[in-house]
Structure 1
């Protein structure tokens, strides 16, 4: 009987490799590193960069100026119902009609006016006159109504719910424009029972008074700029007047002045100025003005003398302006970027300057171990400032009481003296480096610093916008 040989197994064993191979290990390290970086990015304060620019610093010279003009208040010489014919802030010449006065008491000779006999000027007659004026105006050319369009446009543009007085002014201006158009197309027989009052002086008509009409630049005090106590009376609010009541005023000259309060610093800066350039903030128009400085017991005041634009601000006592004065030129940086840091003083004879980098010095530092033994080592330090005799280095390199040894000498200098420097954090290289600055000038938001200093800034450098978010040598994210 034949014996069978055992058959060979054809099953192939598969080697199961461990998951902990070198590739998985490296990937795990990379993944953990990425997670750490992400956490650091999300939890670290983010630094906003600011690019340093060069140029002048414009001062923040914004003021509310007190306007002084040649103003003449005109008073009524009689009593009666009053109706104004001249538009406010319009120029009038000698003989132009300003208003009409119901003939109730004053004779014609006292009023110096044109008087026409007719029926009584009661309310119904006045309303009829206004309606007739409106009907008559309909037949005129479009040019006759340009004043209405201008008045309505101005009211719409400048209307404020916080100042309802503008509504009354609009009503009075529109009514005056109607009567102005009417009087241009009527004969004297059309005025029923009223005396038409004309002016004997050229000027700009204003229908408000505030008691400052006679104030001069020498009379100005700081209290005059307090708007809380300021009061202006609208003369067109009355339907009737009595003898000697103010009825309007005239600005009789194009020459006028703006007075502004000055602090001592600004007064000193402008002491030699005879002209200044300024901007009306209302419409951003800019002009030149003669300039002088006044002084009294309340302090310093600037006086701007102007010979134009008075008609645009005829009714305004307070006007917002800005002086356009360029100050010192240099590198312009925001005040938020400025930081202060303390440094140790090292005498120059104790250091060696790096020939390849003048911002670095080498020195021999001696400190003491816990057992009292001296430890000496060479260190390299970054220079943050220097004088003719000293260098200033980071306080993190030393402990107070450490020594710096003079090379090839037995002399030693003990670390103790410090100096505070102001500067900014330069982030050009991706980490924060303190750079000293020397401020030439500043205002509320920016300052001008010296350029091209040995350890300072240069144009187009990038610095931290907010110094409080940065630490020395920290990586910027």
Structure 2
């Protein structure tokens, strides 16, 4: 039996390919991102620094020995001493200063309203506290004790007023053995002596500036003294001198100085002192002479000071931003205006009758020499310039270097010349307001040596 054979005529048609718009968009985005990443990885990346106004203060800290016009007053009798006047106050001749008694005096603490602090005393305490709060830093914690002493001084003054009133009452009652003594002359009163009272500034030697062996004797109320003992001292005028041992660098910095700015860390006051120095036993001593404000430091024989060697304000920029660039230096007489605008430029001598005008950027103008600095990249080597309205020419072949930074405000590097006023370990203070320099809030390359004129900054 023959097998059934079935034949068919089947044709296979190829499907049409359709463009997938989603894949196409994804491909374009992928390629764009890939190119962007590659460009970012291969591009030069420059850190940016924003220029801000600032200042640099260069100072050196010292501890000096204070020399004043001081007179020690000795007791005219013996007994228990009590004082009427607060230390650091000014007294006049015939002012009652102290009393002597055969026995200790007992004083009552007056708590009635008449002994409350006056408005001026309250104001003094408030002012001292406010000054302390405004100037306090973690590094000046020691000023807490200064504030404590200042407030104690005001309160002690009130206590002395109370004591003086009670002693006056005891005097009127003819208490046996009580005598009151007055000042022989006027001055600022102090109840401590240390042996430097008769010392002159020229007598100071380097070993005297060592505080380790310093001793000060202070008189207290109701302590027993003998006749002839030092009972107080008077500082007679406002002139005083601070003697310091200078470092080698300070000797060099102050060689020609006749005055110097001085800051007192104790109260953050700044004064100008007349300055001189001389060599004593192999050490250079500096003499800071003042004619005011002595009373603020009358209780201190050793006074901490800072000599302000430099205090400059301007634009503060990091040292890493500074770089150097070569420029052609030409007379400003070669500058002219021309072309299709009012732009400044020069005339290039082409050897023909008419010179060719080319605009230029001025990077620095030296008014003392009448010269300007122009970029060598704008000219071919050995280009010759022609002076306007003249046959004089000059060839561009010598360059000079300028210090500056690269300004990147516009997204590309432009050199800007700077004039350095002062420096610290990490920063320069440069002059502001120059026509061809920097301005506040400009953006510059943090590392100048990595940038060239015209570089696009990403």
With structure 1 as the length reference, what TM-score do the two structures score? Answer: 0.58
Which of 181, 184, 200 is equivalent to 1:197? 181
Q: Whole-Å Cα distance in 1 between the matches of residues 185 and 445 of structure 2? A: 61
| CA deviation after TM superposition for structure 1 residue 314, in Å | 1.9
Question: 1:304 aligned to 2:289?
Answer: yes
- Residue 336 of structure 1 is matched in structure 2 by 319
Q: CA RMSD in A?
A: 5.3
The answer to whether the 8 A contact 2:262-2:270 is kept is: yes
1:390 pairs, out of 398, 415, 435, with: 398
Q: Is this contact kept in 2: 1:46–1:476, CA < 8 A?
A: no
Are 2:449 and 1:462 aligned? Answer: no
| Residue 472 (1) aligns with residue 451 (2) | yes
1:427 maps to which residue?
408
Structure 2 residue aligned with 1:264: 251
Q: How does 1:280-429 map to 2 (within 5 A)?
A: 282-283=266-267, 291-297=274-280, 298-299=283-284, 301-306=286-291, 308-319=292-303, 332-334=315-317, 336-337=319-320, 339=322, 355-357=358-360, 358-361=374-377, 362=379, 390-391=398-399, 423-429=404-410
> Deviations along 1:63-105, whole A, 9 cap, x unmatched?
65543221122333544333222211111222323233333xx
The 1:440/1:92 distance shift into structure 2, 3 A limit, reads: closer
Q: Is the 8 A contact 2:420 2:428 kept in 1?
A: no
Residues 462 and 140 (structure 1), Cα distance of their counterparts in 2 relative to 1, 3 Å cut: closer
Q: 2:27 aligns with which of 22, 25, 28?
A: 25
Matching residue within 188, 191, 194 for 2:172: 188
Residues 144-183 of structure 1: pairs in structure 2 closer than 5 A: 163=145, 170=152, 173=156, 175-183=159-167
For structure 1, the residue ranges without an aligned partner over 5 or more in a row are 1-12, 104-120, 365-386, 393-418
TM-score (normalizing by structure 2): 0.60
State the SS of the aligned residue for 1:430: coil
Shift of 1:345: 11
Cα contact 1:89–1:206 (8 A) shared by 2: yes
Query: Which residue of the partner structure matches residue 71 of structure 1?
Result: 70
Give the Cα–Cα distance (whole angstroms) in 2 for the partners of residues 388 and 250 of structure 1: 76
Residues 1:44 and 1:241: Cα distance change in structure 2 (over 3 Å)? farther
> Would the aligned equivalents of 1:155 and 1:170 in 2 still touch at CA under 8 Å?
no
Q: Structure 1 CA distance, aligned partners of 2:434 and 2:120?
A: 61
Looking at structure 2, the residues matched to 460 and 161 of structure 1 have their Cα atoms a distance apart, in angstroms, of 36
1:286 and 1:83 mapped to 2: Cα distance? 36
Equivalent in the alignment of 2:98 = 99
Q: Distance in 2 between matches of 1:164 and 1:57?
A: 28
Find the residue that maps to 1:86 and give its secondary structure: coil
CA offset at residue 251 of structure 1?
Answer: 0.8
* Secondary structure at 2:166 match in 1: helix
Measure, in 2, the Cα distance between the counterparts of 1:465 and 1:185: 80
Q: Structure 2: which 5+ runs fail to align?
A: 1-14, 133-140, 331-347, 350-356, 361-373, 382-394
The answer on whether the counterparts of 2:46 and 2:446 sit within 8 Å (CA) in structure 1 is no
The alpha carbon displacement at 1:178 in A equals 3.2
Q: How far 1:245 moved relative to its partner?
A: 3.6
- Aligned pairs, number: 377
Per the TM alignment, residue 207 of structure 1 is displaced from its structure 2 partner at its CA by 2.0
For 2:206 and 2:302, locate their aligned partners in 1 and report how far apart those are by CA, in whole Å.
13
Report the CA distance between 1:315 and its aligned residue: 1.1
Once the two structures are TM-superposed, the CA of residue 451 in structure 1 deviates from its matched residue by 8.2
Query: Alpha carbons of 1:447 and 1:27: their partners in 2 closer, same or farther (altered >3 Å)?
Result: same
Offset of residue 317 of structure 1: 3.1
- State whether structure 2 residue 141 is matched by structure 1 residue 140: no
| Structure 1 counterpart SS, 2:195 | coil
Q: Partners in 2 of 1:46 and 1:222 — Cα distance?
A: 51
Equivalences for residues 217-256 of structure 1 within 5 A:
217-221=201-205, 226-227=210-211, 230-236=214-220, 239-256=223-240
